Amino acid sequence: MNAPASTTRPELAGHPHFHYRDGVLHAEGVALDKLAAELGTPLYVYSRAALAAALGSYRDAIGDRPVLVCFGMKANSNLAVLKEFARLGAGFDIVSGGELQRVLAVGGDPSRVVFSGVGKQAWEMRAAIEAGVMCFNVESQAELRRLSQVAHEMGQTARVSLRVNPDVDAQTHPYISTGLKENKFGIAIESALDAYRLAASLPGLEVVGVDCHIGSQLTDISPYFDALEKLLDLISQLAEEGITISHLDLGGGLGIRYTDEIPPSPKALLDGVFARLQARGLGHLHLVLEPGRSLVGNAGLLLTTVQYLKHAEARNFAIVDAAMNDLLRPSLYEAYHGLRAVRPRQGDEQEYDVVGPVCESGDWLARQRRLSVQEGDVLALESAGAYGMVMASNYNSRGRPAEVMVDGDKYYVVRQRETLADLIRGESTLP
Ligand SMILES: *Cc1c(COP(=O)(O)O)cnc(C)c1O
């Protein structure tokens, strides 16, 4: 590491696949200044080794316990990312018919797919039943009835878990906290028994599991165990009614390190969960996890080039070519992303707000960072592998960035940059 202290922090535990060599930030063996010059910016860069390492940390923690990891693919649904996880044996947590299509497109195994989401439509249910997904995570009695009808009409049986809302506070950002009573997600724990009775009585359904997902970017492990205890109580009650549960799905949500967070490890989570299962005599249950962010977040960067430096009275602005349409998290959640110069400069540092060209004051990517930069410098926004490209839009008629996957000292463009022609495709004027 030979970058000045301001543009880089000590090597972070979560980012070992992005590192400085000869004064240039690399992804694995690829120099990112050359990559930016060749492919242009803004550019999402993923490390294949980082994806494998993130899944490996779950694998190592699981050992020979019965756990299925279903990648919460809404965090990053690029086909190359999905293919890598499918190849490594992961399943997928999908939230739409479009996501199912992507899993099938990379040859993912439908029998390792769980289908989540509050608003599944009949066509999406049909497609998932046809594909043979492992389980539907159902979020309301109305959805149970619809799914029953769809499956029955097809002469098929849909396996279901009910997504229970355990009313625990995940202590994360309100927009990504999902396990509280006031959230739209799941079935309130008090009503769960009734909903299970309904599920057991409807044709075309087979009750197989209990599910919850309490939020995202959890940096404290205790909300998982609070939720788990409530779900285990429910499973015991169900057993008394003759409703047998074979798997427990604890959702996703493990946090990652954006700045100085120390999120719980998969091992801490799994050890705690299995200890509690054993204590309740439920050690036979299979476990499903749906990690999204923790499998991809620190496996990606967003490269952007400084267009202009603007020294206004109250602030200095570094105006870059990426914007809120490319990476929404700062604008939407006031999220922090680490920022590094790809070729750090020695010399005069100033405090900058790093902002994009979009016509919104909310269009910023990083605030109050001490930087030594000039026009034309390439910067890297860290931890951009999750909820980055998938949330990109065409706001301000901006084409969405390209995505590239680095593998050792090779790289592959895994999504072309959108062209101006792409932007108006499908539109027309009146005759
Ligand atoms: C978003 C989501 C996930 C993934 O969450 P992460 O915080 O990215 O791990 C998993 N399950 C469901 C139901 C989700 O909505």
226 and 321 share one domain: no
225-231 mean pLDDT: 96
Distance 176 CA to ligand 1 centre (A): 9
Assigned domain for 207 exists: yes
> For residue 175, what pLDDT is reported?
65
Ligand 1 pocket at CB < 6 A: 72, 74-75, 93, 116, 213, 216, 251-253, 290-294
Q: Based on the structure, what is the number of domains in the chain?
A: 2
pLDDT tens sequence across 68-108? 999 999 999 999 999 999 999 999 999 999 999 999 999 99
Assigned domain for 121 exists: yes
Higher pLDDT, 65 or 313: 65
Assign 3 a pLDDT band (cuts: 50, 70, 90). Answer: very low
Assigned domain for 7 exists: no
Annotated ligand binding at 411? The verdict is no
Could you give the percent of the chain with pLDDT greater than 70?
Answer: 95
> For residue 16, what pLDDT is reported?
80
Helix (H) or strand (E) holding 364: strand 364-371
What is the CATH classification number for the domain harbouring 314? 2.40.37.10
Assign 146 a pLDDT band (cuts: 50, 70, 90). Answer: very high
170 and 270 share one domain: yes
Distance 8 CA to ligand 1 centre (A): 30
Closest ligand 1 atom, residue 116 Cα: 13
290 and 365 share one domain: no
100 and 83 share one domain: yes
* DSSP character at residue 299: G
Show which of 247, 274, 294 is a domain's final residue: 294
125 and 56 share one domain: yes
C-alpha dihedral, 338 to 15 to 320 to 352, nearest 10°: 30
127 and 259 share one domain: yes
Show which of 243, 272, 294 is a domain's final residue: 294
| Statement: residue 11 has pLDDT above 50 | no
d(CA 136, CA 142) in angstroms, rounded, equals: 14
**35 within 8 A of 60, measured Cβ to Cβ:** no
246 and 349 share one domain: no
Annotated ligand binding at 329? The verdict is yes
Show which of 267, 294, 321 is a domain's final residue: 294
Structure tokens belonging to residue 390: 């998938």
Q: Which domain holds residue 176?
A: 48-294
309 and 260 share one domain: no
Least confident piece of the model among 4-18, 21-35, 73-87, 108-122? 4-18
250 and 318 share one domain: no
Assigned domain for 74 exists: yes
d(CA 385, CA 297) in angstroms, rounded, equals: 4
Assigned domain for 224 exists: yes
As annotated, the active-site residues are: 359
182 and 282 share one domain: yes
**304 within 8 A of 378, measured Cβ to Cβ:** yes
CA-nearest residue, atom 10 of ligand 1: 252
31 and 131 share one domain: no
Strand order in the sheet with 24-27: 18-21, 24-27, 30-31
pLDDT tens sequence across 284-297? 999 999 999 999 99
What is the distance between the terminal CA atoms of the chain, rounded to a whole angstrom? 61
Distance 252 CA to ligand 1 centre (A): 5
d(CA 139, CA 120) in angstroms, rounded, equals: 9
Assigned domain for 3 exists: no
Assigned domain for 87 exists: yes
Annotated ligand binding at 290? The verdict is yes
What is the CATH classification number for the domain harbouring 52? 3.20.20.10
> For residue 177, what pLDDT is reported?
67
pLDDT tens sequence across 393-407? 999 999 999 999 999
Cα separations (Å) of 113 from 47, 72, 376?
24, 10, 44
Assigned domain for 197 exists: yes
**343 within 8 A of 23, measured Cβ to Cβ:** yes
71 and 30 share one domain: no
pTM: 0.95
